[in-house]
């Protein structure tokens, strides 16, 4: 009689352990899917990127960077990048204002390359002039990188500087981590 009780208890314990391990595995899979479902900028259509960036704009923010973490990882021989939006919040301006932007490497010291080499990884969207944006409206742009084989595996910081009328309007940054192919 005593052995039967012990047997039932050990079977119940085994069933409980199996169920808990199953739930743990499902939880890990769910978390992995959540964190890997974020698409790179290259995979997003213009409308999807516009939607993602508009979610990141705060009421009084003239600029927003996607992904919101301001961190992108790119493998060597791969193309990916960041998206950003510029919102015209200029006071006292009527109609449209003209903007320009430039992307530059601001911190590449731990990569062991020059600023010019890091900026050569930018294939599209390094700078643009004469962007007409109506007051209260915004535009979206992509900055794409193509990391060559042989580029150091490191993290570099890039700065996006937006100007209007010869004056700095907004600036923001993002970090680019280079991974092995």
178 within 8 A of 154, measured Cβ to Cβ: yes
Same-domain status, 54 and 21: no
Same-domain status, 139 and 162: yes
Same-domain status, 92 and 25: no
Same-domain status, 129 and 52: yes
Same-domain status, 114 and 71: yes
Same-domain status, 16 and 74: no
Same-domain status, 1 and 49: no
- pLDDT (tens digit per residue) in 55-102: 666 667 899 888 888 899 999 998 888 989 999 988 877 788 899 999
Same-domain status, 109 and 82: yes
pLDDT, tens digit only, all 181 positions of the chain? 566 666 666 778 888 888 899 989 988 887 776 665 555 665 566 667 667 666 666 667 899 888 888 899 999 998 888 989 999 988 877 788 899 999 999 999 889 999 999 999 999 999 999 999 998 888 989 999 999 999 999 999 999 999 998 899 999 999 999 999 8
Same-domain status, 53 and 94: yes
Same-domain status, 145 and 93: yes
Place of tokens 């010869």: 166
Distance (Å, whole) CA 78 – CA 101: 24
Same-domain status, 45 and 113: yes
Domain count, the chain: 2
Same-domain status, 123 and 60: yes
What integer pLDDT is reported at residue 93 of this predicted model?
73
Give the range of the structural domain holding residue 31, as residue numbers without chain letter: 1-37
- Asked if the peptide bond before residue 67 counts as cis, ω within 30 degrees of 0, the response is yes
């Amino acid at each position: 009689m005593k052995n039967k009780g012990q047997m039932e208890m050990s079977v119940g314990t085994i069933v409980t352990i199996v169920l808990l391990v199953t739930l743990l595995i499902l939880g890990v899979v769910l978390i992995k899917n959540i964190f890997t479902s974020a698409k790179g900028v290259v995979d997003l259509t213009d409308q999807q990127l516009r939607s993602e960036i508009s979610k990141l704009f705060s009421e009084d923010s003239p600029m927003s960077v996607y992904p919101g973490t301001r961190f992108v990882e790119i493998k060597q021989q791969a193309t990916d990048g960041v998206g950003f939006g510029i919102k015209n919040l200029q006071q006292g301006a009527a109609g449209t204002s003209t903007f320009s932007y430039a992307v530059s490497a601001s911190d590449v010291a731990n990569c062991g390359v020059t600023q010019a080499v890091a900026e050569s990884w930018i294939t599209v969207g390094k700078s643009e002039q004469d962007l007409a944006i109506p007051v209260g409206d915004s535009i979206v742009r992509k900055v794409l990188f193509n990391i060559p084989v042989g580029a150091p595996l490191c993290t570099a910081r890039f700065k996006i500087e937006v100007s209007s009328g010869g004056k700095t309007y907004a600036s923001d940054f993002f970090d680019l981590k280079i991974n092995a192919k």
